């Protein structure tokens, strides 16, 4: 038995989704902060009104995905979306910027979203679910697979993948079920029960069913899954659930979600979209919808796409794609002349079981379907190669043929690299059989580059030749670290390392370390005691450029560039290691063409020290893949 949704109902509910999304985002946008606050908001109308609403990444990135669907077709993968991230989206807050740097260095999804990405538990992907639900009405299994491909680009291995799957499943189901409790319960079956996201949502759901006041529930969610970061996904999914369930009508729902705080534009926009799907355009209140008009506001951070002139046009285009997607994936829903939602809950539950296979997809594995075989490259030690340290990986080969295959596995490495064990390997696989082959690569510092490609080649006997599979490794971060100074515990006291502000060389008392990510792993040097430590770093820039440099940390720091003090922590704040700044630990500066020398002085107090180092272009705060930071100047000569 199939679910049937009439074209009239389908169009009306997709239209309602976009109107609701726009309204909720416009309500919450002016209240958004980078850190959450204990006090609730008290807004019950738009703080700021603009024709078409306020431009918001929640909606406009989905217009980029619409362009990808136009261009690439409905069989989109994360690899397709990666191109549109680079071609169409200029801004770089948090995970957006970090994963795009990974893409520019050659790392594909899901590794692009997993490696060196502190923000993979944040809201960048749960806010992009509506387009997948709207082209998969009543087909939550299809919506979830799209959502997964979307989320792993910039959140692989993070709670945010579950957040987007939850939203996509709930929103897809909302086309055929209007009971909000049942919708939340269906969404929960699509994500792991032990995830932090599920815990936050269940707290809100169970409290609602017990009749608790929504303000009290907000406190329960906050205490259970607290993070000071306003964009932390689990707490926002909990607040979103409060707005969805406790809303007495559309306006009340989006206001309650927003008033909970944290990522206010995101929670308001998602709740607005869900209510819009349930109500449809016809039943949304004119009070909230009419002031925003029928156009779409898009920022100058989006380029190279065709923006629909009106929400009517957007709706018609999405509905046309939805008919194609439902047929392509042989969905249990069909677009027809009449609505028939009989047995919808039972049908949807059976479809969601299919989603659980996504939970076990590792974020450190890249799959390549070569028709005769499937090759998977698995990073056991991550993609960053550190000087003279073995980096382990696995090549998995699965026979996709109906008969046995045999052949040879070869791996070529960059010049100067050592591969263990030596290849070639002889392979013999029965139909459907899989085999894993373990390796490691070791590279001297002079032979490491920004992007380093190993080529995996499988030559099958008596079969057409296959393309080589790239496995990309990136350079890490090379630092000099001083001893720890205990007394006096003051950033203003001049310890001996400050005489080395312009030293071109290792110098006396400095230890060489290499780290795989932006994180500065200095806590281990303090032996759980307060103190001050210095770090030195060299960066080669191919040209003069204006940059923003940050040492986000939970203590205090001073930062010198080429011998000049350029910044000191304004006040201690929670760690937030993005490219654009945290209001305390970032400064704009000029890199000169050639080698640049940085020194950091950082103070640990009574608690463990967390610190990162970031550098980005001052324009759009984009990461720069052409900087050299994994070796010292004298190691390049």
Based on the domain organization, do 341 and 385 belong to the same domain?
Answer: no
pLDDT at 363: 98
pLDDT at 138: 97
Residues 136-179: tens digit of each pLDDT = 999 999 999 999 999 999 999 999 999 999 999 999 999 999 99
Over residues 363-368, mean pLDDT: 98
Contact 449, 414 (CB under 8 A): yes
**Window from 50-64, 163-177, 379-393, 433-447 with minimum mean pLDDT:** 50-64
- Residue ending a domain, among 342, 360, 378, is 360
**CA angle at residue 615 from 614 to 619, to 5 degrees?**
135
Find residue 384's DSSP bridge partners.
474
Percent of the chain at pLDDT exceeding 70: 100
pLDDT at 569: 98
Distance CA 566, CA 614 (A): 15
In the chain, the number of structural domains is 3
The answer as to whether 581 is a domain residue is yes
Based on the domain organization, do 64 and 162 belong to the same domain?
Answer: yes
Closest CA relative to residue 535, chosen from 579, 485, 592: 485
The answer as to whether 41 is a domain residue is no
Closest CA relative to residue 299, chosen from 580, 546, 64: 64
Contact 78, 361 (CB under 8 A): no
Residue 51 has pLDDT above 90, yes or no: no
Residues 252-294: tens digit of each pLDDT = 999 999 999 999 999 999 999 999 999 999 999 999 999 999 9
- Residue ending a domain, among 330, 360, 390, is 360
Which CATH number covers residue 370?
Answer: 2.60.40.10
Q: What residues contact 188, with CB distance under 8 A and at least 6 apart?
A: 166, 198, 201, 202, 205
The answer as to whether 75 is a domain residue is yes
Question: pLDDT-based confidence at 517, cuts 50/70/90?
Answer: very high
Residues 384-435: tens digit of each pLDDT = 999 999 999 999 999 999 999 999 999 999 999 999 998 899 999 999 999 9
Range of the domain at 416: 365-475
Closest CA relative to residue 238, chosen from 213, 257, 264: 257
Based on the domain organization, do 471 and 618 belong to the same domain?
Answer: no
Over residues 110-114, mean pLDDT: 98
Residues 616-635: tens digit of each pLDDT = 999 999 999 999 999 999 99
Closest CA relative to residue 330, chosen from 42, 50, 2: 2
Based on the domain organization, do 31 and 156 belong to the same domain?
Answer: yes
Per DSSP, which regions of 263-390 are E strands?
333-336, 365-369, 373-379, 384-385
Based on the domain organization, do 471 and 484 belong to the same domain?
Answer: no
pLDDT at 232: 98
The answer as to whether 132 is a domain residue is yes
Based on the domain organization, do 210 and 113 belong to the same domain?
Answer: yes
Q: What residues contact 487, with CB distance under 8 A and at least 6 apart?
A: none
pLDDT at 53: 78
Based on the domain organization, do 108 and 124 belong to the same domain?
Answer: yes
The answer as to whether 334 is a domain residue is yes
Over residues 190-211, mean pLDDT: 98
Which CATH number covers residue 337?
Answer: 1.10.4080.10
- Residue ending a domain, among 453, 475, 497, is 475
The answer as to whether 43 is a domain residue is no
Residue 451 has pLDDT above 70, yes or no: yes
Over residues 81-106, mean pLDDT: 98
Mean confidence (pLDDT) of the chain:
97
Over residues 180-208, mean pLDDT: 98
Residues 337-350: tens digit of each pLDDT = 999 999 999 999 99
Contact 120, 113 (CB under 8 A): yes
Distance CA 356, CA 367 (A): 19
The answer as to whether 386 is a domain residue is yes
Based on the domain organization, do 606 and 498 belong to the same domain?
Answer: yes
Sign of the Cα pseudo-torsion (102, 103, 106, 110, in order): positive
Based on the domain organization, do 406 and 340 belong to the same domain?
Answer: no
The answer as to whether 44 is a domain residue is no
pLDDT at 637: 66
Based on the domain organization, do 140 and 215 belong to the same domain?
Answer: yes
Which CATH number covers residue 579?
Answer: 2.60.120
Over residues 119-130, mean pLDDT: 98
Based on the domain organization, do 492 and 508 belong to the same domain?
Answer: yes
pTM: 0.97
Question: pLDDT-based confidence at 559, cuts 50/70/90?
Answer: very high
Based on the domain organization, do 413 and 501 belong to the same domain?
Answer: no
């Amino acid at each position: 038995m199939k679910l049937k949704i009439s074209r009239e109902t389908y169009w009306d509910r997709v239209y309602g989704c976009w109107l609701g999304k726009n309204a909720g985002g416009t309500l919450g946008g002016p209240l958004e902060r980078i850190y959450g606050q204990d006090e609730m908001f008290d807004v019950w109308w738009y703080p700021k009104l603009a024709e078409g609403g306020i431009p918001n990444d929640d909606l406009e990135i989905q217009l980029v995905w619409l362009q990808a669907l136009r261009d690439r077709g409905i069989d989109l993968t994360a690899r397709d979306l990666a191109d549109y991230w680079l071609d169409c989206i200029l801004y770089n807050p948090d995970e957006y910027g970090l994963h795009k740097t990974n893409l520019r260095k050659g790392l594909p999804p899901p590794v692009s979203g997993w490696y060196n990405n502190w923000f993979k538990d944040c809201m960048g992907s749960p806010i992009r679910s509506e387009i997948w639900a709207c082209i998969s009405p009543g087909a939550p299994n299809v919506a979830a697979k799209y959502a997964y491909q979307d989320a792993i680009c910039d959140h692989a291995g993070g709670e945010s993948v579950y957040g987007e799957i939850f939203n996509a499943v709930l929103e897809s189901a909302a086309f055929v079920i209007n009971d909000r409790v049942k919708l939340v319960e269906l969404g929960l079956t699509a994500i792991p029960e032990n995830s932090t996201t599920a815990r936050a949502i269940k707290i809100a759901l169970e409290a609602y069913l017990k009749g608790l006041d929504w303000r009290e529930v907000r406190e329960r969610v906050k205490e259970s899954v607290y993070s000071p970061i306003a964009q932390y996904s689990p707490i926002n999914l909990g607040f979103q659930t409060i707005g969805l369930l406790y809303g007495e009508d559309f306006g009340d729902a989006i206001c309650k979600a927003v008033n909970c705080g944290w990522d206010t534009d995101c929670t308001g926009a998602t709740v607005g979209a869900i209510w819009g799907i349930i109500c449809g355009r016809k039943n949304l209140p004119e009070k909230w919808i009419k002031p925003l008009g029928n156009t779409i506001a898009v920022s100058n951070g989006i380029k190279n796409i065709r923006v629909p002139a009106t929400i009517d046009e957007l709706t018609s285009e999405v509905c046309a794609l939805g008919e194609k997607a439902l047929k392509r994936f042989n969905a249990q829903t069909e677009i027809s002349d009449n609505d028939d939602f009989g047995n919808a809950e039972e049908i949807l539950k059976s479809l969601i079981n299919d989603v659980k296979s996504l939970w076990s997809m590792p974020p450190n594995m890249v799959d390549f379907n070569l028709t005769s075989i499937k090759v998977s490259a698995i990073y056991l030690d991550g993609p960053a190669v550190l000087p003279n340290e073995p980096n382990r990986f696995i090549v998995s080969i699965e026979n996709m043929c109906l008969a046995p295959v045999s052949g040879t596995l070869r791996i070529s490495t960059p010049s100067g690299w050592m591969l263990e064990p030596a290849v070639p390997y002889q392979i013999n696989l029965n139909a459907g059989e899989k085999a894993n082959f373990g390796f490691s690569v070791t590279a001297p510092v002079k032979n490491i580059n920004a992007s380093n490609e190993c080529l995996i080649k499988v030559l099958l006997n008596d079969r057409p030749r296959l393309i080589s599979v790239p496995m990309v490794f990136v350079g890490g971060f090379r630092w000099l670290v001083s001893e720890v100074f205990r007394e006096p515990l003051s950033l203003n006291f001049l310890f001996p390392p400050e005489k080395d502000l312009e030293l071109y060389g290792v110098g006396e008392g400095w230890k060489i370390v290499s780290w795989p990510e932006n994180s500065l792993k200095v806590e281990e040097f303090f032996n759980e005691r307060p103190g001050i430590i210095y770090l030195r770093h060299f960066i080669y820039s191919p040209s003069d450029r204006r940059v923003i440099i940050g040492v986000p940390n939970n203590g205090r720091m001073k930062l010198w560039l080429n011998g000049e003090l350029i910044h000191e922590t304004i006040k201690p704040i929670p760690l937030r290691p993005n490219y654009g700044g945290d209001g305390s630990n970032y400064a704009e500066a000029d890199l000169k063409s050639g080698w640049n020398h940085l020194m950091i002085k950082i103070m640990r107090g009574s608690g463990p020290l967390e610190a990162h180092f970031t550098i980005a272009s001052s324009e759009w705060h984009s990461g720069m893949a052409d900087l050299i930071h994994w070796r010292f100047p004298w190691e390049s000569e």
